[in-house]
Amino acid sequence: MMKIKDYIHKSALIVLVPLVVGLIMEVIVYMQTGGHLIGSMLDVRNLVRDIGTTAIIAFALSLNLGSGRFDLSLGAQRLVATIIGGNIALRLGFNGTGLLLMAILIGLVAGFIVGMIFITFRVPPVILGLGMAMIYESIAFAGSGGRGLQLFGASDIGMLVNPNFTMMVLGIATAFIFVLFTFTKFRYEMQAMRGSQKTAKNSGINVFRHVVICYTIAGGLVAIAGVFSAALDGALNPVLGMSSNSAVIAMTFPMFIGTYLSRRSNMAIGIISAALTVRLFSVGLASLHISSALNTTINMVLFIGFLAFLANRHIPDLRKRERARIKEAHAKLRELSVSS
């Protein structure tokens, strides 16, 4: 019972992070513009959609980054899954749910292929990601005749822009990640591989199976984010030259914050809290009429500052212990000099 209470207490502290950021931004926005951070139901609907896209991509990033790999093909997997899967679903006359499921299927296959190539040919993750990104971008472009996925006028897909549907899908994805990182051996395999893949393999963990699972699930998750983005914009256009990565790389900030917060609870809860925090901050900057370029600059500066904090957060404790050792050594030297 105590463990459950302690877990709830730690999770509640994570909830405070977006609440504090939202309150600070509300005060700043009110003082500068006289308006509110969230002023209408349209703002709520947009916030829900943004959180859904941000959190799901951050989930996908955490799967491979948690094991020490950065999959540079994730953006292209999102593109090919949404465009190819979406067009197949439209031709078959599927509704919004069918389109989403078809995109997830293509995304799972795209991620599985990347994972199988990685474990079969042992190509370094960065090189593999670059190559597969260009291949998938070309497939999405050629497979759609350069038109991408056009949802304007498509029938029976209105549910994809419904915030309740977004929240339901986000809830399912969050529950899946929560169970995966809490009640399965996947969590322990992830922690072991984060330290050393060689040590994990020697301890009996099937490293190759774990890698394929990470790539496959990540592909399915980014497909969900791609469908939501296409539904909101009415279309998803194909791009070439690694441009597909921008939508994914932008989510590394909430992913790192979520990973840091997850130390007090769970990866799923940490990333949801981080996604809400980052989106409230961005909404606040937009309410202050700050340009998108300056908005991106501020976010990236904060991102680098956060990484610097993560890299150096142990230094004060190390210096404190070092000063204690020096003080103890000087005390012993004084004792020896007095006794002699």
The DSSP-derived string for 158-202 is: GGGG-HHHHHHHHHHHHHHHHHHTTTSTHHHHHHHHHH-HHHHHH
**How far apart are alpha carbons 289 and 60 in whole angstroms?**
31
- Name the amino acid, one letter, at 310: L
- Do the beta carbons of residue 208 and residue 114 sit within 8 Å? no
Q: Could you report the per-residue pLDDT of 246-262, keeping only the tens digit for each? A: 888 888 888 889 888 88
For the chain, give the mean pLDDT.
87
**How far apart are alpha carbons 114 and 103 in whole angstroms?**
17
Calculate what percentage of the chain has a pLDDT beyond 70: 96
Q: Could you report the per-residue pLDDT of 51-101, keeping only the tens digit for each? A: 889 999 999 998 888 777 888 899 999 999 999 999 999 999 999 999 999
What is the structure's pLDDT at 200? 76
**How far apart are alpha carbons 155 and 194 in whole angstroms?**
46
**How far apart are alpha carbons 18 and 21 in whole angstroms?**
5
**How far apart are alpha carbons 187 and 213 in whole angstroms?**
12
Q: Kindly list the distances between the CA atom of residue 158 and the CA atoms of 77, 95, 152, 169, in Å, as whole numbers in the listed order.
A: 24, 9, 10, 15
Contacts of 249 (CB under 8 A, 6+ apart): 75
Question: Residue 243 pLDDT more than 90?
Answer: no
What is the structure's pLDDT at 3? 62
End-to-end CA distance of the chain: 58
Give the count of alpha carbons within 13 A of 254, CB side only. 32
**How far apart are alpha carbons 103 and 305 in whole angstroms?**
36
Q: What is the DSSP letter of 11?
A: H
Give the 3-state secondary structure of residue 150. Answer: strand
**How far apart are alpha carbons 194 and 122 in whole angstroms?**
18
Average pLDDT in the 197-202 region?
76
User: Could you write out the DSSP letters of every residue in 73-99?
Assistant: THHHHHHHHHHHHHHHHHHTT--HHHH
What is the structure's pLDDT at 327? 87
> Token digits for 60?
């996908």
Higher pLDDT, 82 or 331: 82
CATH topology of domain 45-289: ABC transporter involved in vitamin B12 uptake, BtuC (1.10.3470)
What is the structure's pLDDT at 5? 66
**How far apart are alpha carbons 153 and 155 in whole angstroms?**
6
Question: Residue 22 pLDDT more than 60?
Answer: yes
Bridge partners (DSSP) listed for residue 219: none
Give the count of alpha carbons within 13 A of 101, CB side only. 6
Q: Could you report the per-residue pLDDT of 164-191, keeping only the tens digit for each? A: 898 999 999 999 998 988 888 888 888 7
- Do the beta carbons of residue 208 and residue 118 sit within 8 Å? no
Burial (CB < 10 A; 0-12, 13-18, 19+), residue 250, is: middle
What is the structure's pLDDT at 35? 86
Pairing state between β 235-236 and 149-150: antiparallel
Question: Residue 2 pLDDT more than 60?
Answer: no
Q: Could you report the per-residue pLDDT of 102-149, keeping only the tens digit for each? A: 999 999 999 999 999 998 988 888 899 999 999 999 999 999 998 999
Please name the helix (run of DSSP H) or strand (run of DSSP E) that holds residue 8, with its range, or none: helix 2-33
User: Could you write out the DSSP letters of every residue in 195-255?
Assistant: H-HHHHHHTT--HHHHHHHHHHHHHHHHHHHHHHHHHHHSEE----TTGGGHHHHTTHHHH
pTM, two decimals, is 0.87
| Cβ atoms < 10 Å from Cβ of 115 | 25
Q: Which spans in 252-291 are helix H?
A: 252-261, 267-287
Average pLDDT in the 23-43 region?
88
What is the structure's pLDDT at 259? 87
What is the structure's pLDDT at 204? 77
